[in-house]
Amino acid sequence: MSRIIDHGLEEQSALLTRIGELTYETLTLSLHGYIESKSVQVQVKEMSDVIVAMASKVEDKTFELIARFQPVASDLRAIKSYMKIANDFARYGRYTLDISSINDQLKGVQQHEAWTHEYIAEMSEKVLLMVKTSIDSLRKHDVALAKTISPTEREVDKMYLEFLSKITAQEYANCKCDISSILVTRYLERIADHATYICESVVYIVTGQKLSLG
């Protein structure tokens, strides 16, 4: 028999899925702007603000569910995880805004060497795939899908460390380009981490297991 709290939990899950879809759209816009050296900061700022506001709504709803419906242990597991996922999505939005800001201040990869452009574009594709995996696994509460994120997370970590090694090994430096690319790859690495955290939360919601997928 359906309980009143079940409807509230379903609403939380649906709201988080909408936030996730918006974060994917915002990140795609920001990364394309950076790679193509196009200013998108105004649009990204507006979208990021919406993400933060929606994440705050999840937090408010969380306290309402706890106060009104006396959730049992499995409910509390989902409620806690949903609030954590909302914070992860908010971090997506913040890093996405930072990338668009860097693009406006230091310019995108069009002024970099060709290998840098290709490297960041490839890393961006992997991170976007991870973000999509985190959203889809949340939407479906799909544990098997959530667990598929691990190999890509390791690839992104490896790419970030290799990028730092290549940049620091260069004989001649372009300060603006190097700072810009290092910051963006760092933000990509952090977004990948948060995508992994979301997948870990999905596993926890469904199974009660606390796994490290990184």
- Report pLDDT for 112: 73
Tens of pLDDT, residue by residue over 15-47, are 999 999 999 999 999 999 998 889 999 999 999
Which candidate, 138, 49, 123, 60, places its Cα nearest to that of 90?
A: 49
212 within some domain: no
Q: Is the pLDDT of residue 49 over 90?
A: yes
What spatial distance separates the first Cα and last Cα of the chain, rounded to whole Å?
38
Q: Is the pLDDT of residue 1 over 70?
A: no
b/e burial code for range 111-130 (CB count within 10 A of at least 16 → b): ebeeebbebbeebbebbbbb
Q: Is the pLDDT of residue 141 over 70?
A: yes
213 within some domain: no
The residue range of the domain holding 58 is 4-207
SS3 of 169-206: the string is CCCCCCHHHHHHHHHHHHHHHHHHHHHHHHHHHHHHHH
Split into its structural domains, the chain has a count of 1
Q: Residue 102: CB partners within 8 Å, gap ≥ 6?
A: 34, 180, 183, 184
Rg for the chain (alpha carbons), in Å? Answer: 19
Give the DSSP letter string of 103-124. Answer: HHHH--GGGS-HHHHHHHHHHH
118 within some domain: yes
Q: Is the pTM of this model over 0.75?
A: yes
164 within some domain: yes
Q: Is the pLDDT of residue 71 over 70?
A: yes
Read off the CATH number of the domain in which 70 is found.
1.20.58.220
Mean pLDDT of all residues belonging to the chain: 91
- Report pLDDT for 107: 67
87 within some domain: yes
214 within some domain: no
Tens of pLDDT, residue by residue over 77-100, are 999 999 999 999 999 899 999 999
Q: Residue 104: CB partners within 8 Å, gap ≥ 6?
A: 39, 41
User: What gap in Å lies between CA 102 and CA 30, rounded to an integer?
Assistant: 10
User: What gap in Å lies between CA 149 and CA 199, rounded to an integer?
Assistant: 8
Q: How confident is the model at residue 165 (pLDDT cuts 50, 70, 90)?
A: very high
Tens of pLDDT, residue by residue over 96-115, are 999 999 888 876 666 677 88
Contact 47, 171 (CB under 8 A): no
